[in-house]
Amino acid sequence: MFRCGIAYPRCRWIVPLLLLFAIIFDIIAIAATSGWVEDEDAKTHYASMWEQCRGRNDIWDCKTLMEFPWAMAVAALMIIGLLILIVAFIISCVALCCTLNITLLPVIGGMLVLVVILQVIALIVYPCKFNEMIFEGHYYYTWAYGFGWGATILCIGCAVLFCCLPRYEDELTGLKKVKYLYTST
């Protein structure tokens, strides 16, 4: 016999784990020394959130992007978002893993919405302003920039989950019987 249902008590461990992955993705995006932007062949120009490098034949001239106000704003928004995300992760571990504290879940959801807003602004401002600096060629936003978006998407999903989980308190505590979505006989 096959049964398909939702085991809500597992959400108590899965949602903080998703937040941990979002933190790891954010750290990768922020700490990357390249991988935000590359030219078509990645041979003459690349950039991270912190600096851009131009060159040929393995001789690179790197300049900081932190002299531009927009780059400082992008860095600040990403770092503030990461710090709020870390705090939300710690609170989620306390609220879901140690004891079940339903009242903290909407607070965590609100914090994650704030993280999403900050990071979406940063991830939109960066390509808009960086493209103004480019005069020739085709450029691609690559892996580290993608990790920034990956962290933001995980935060969107977790924010929805944290805002919806208080409705399922009995299911989370295991007091309610599992309701199967599908049962084959």
Classify residue 6: in a domain, yes or no: no
Domain that residue 86 falls in = 11-33+66-137+147-166
Classify residue 128: in a domain, yes or no: yes
Count the alpha carbons within 13 Å of 176 in the hemisphere toward its beta carbon: 14
Classify residue 174: in a domain, yes or no: no
pLDDT band at residue 1, thresholds of 50, 70 and 90? very low
Reading the block at residue 167, the tokens are 């409705």
Classify residue 47: in a domain, yes or no: no
**What global pTM score does this model have?**
0.85
Classify residue 43: in a domain, yes or no: no
Strand partners, 61: 54
Classify residue 154: in a domain, yes or no: yes
Phi/psi for 49 (5° steps) reads -70, -20
Q: What is the pLDDT of residues 21-53, one digit of tens each?
A: 999 999 999 999 888 888 877 677 888 889 988
Q: What is the pLDDT of residues 116-139, one digit of tens each?
A: 999 999 999 998 888 887 767 788
Structurally, the chain folds into a number of domains equal to: 1
User: Beta strand pairing status for 37-39 and 45-47?
Assistant: antiparallel
Reading the block at residue 17, the tokens are 């784990």
**Stronger pLDDT, 19 or 180, i.e. the higher one:** 19
Classify residue 57: in a domain, yes or no: no
Question: Which DSSP symbol is given to 58?
Answer: T
Question: Which residues lie below 8 Å from residue 130, measured CB to CB, with a gap of 6+?
Answer: 37, 47
Classify residue 49: in a domain, yes or no: no
Q: What is the mean pLDDT of the chain?
A: 85
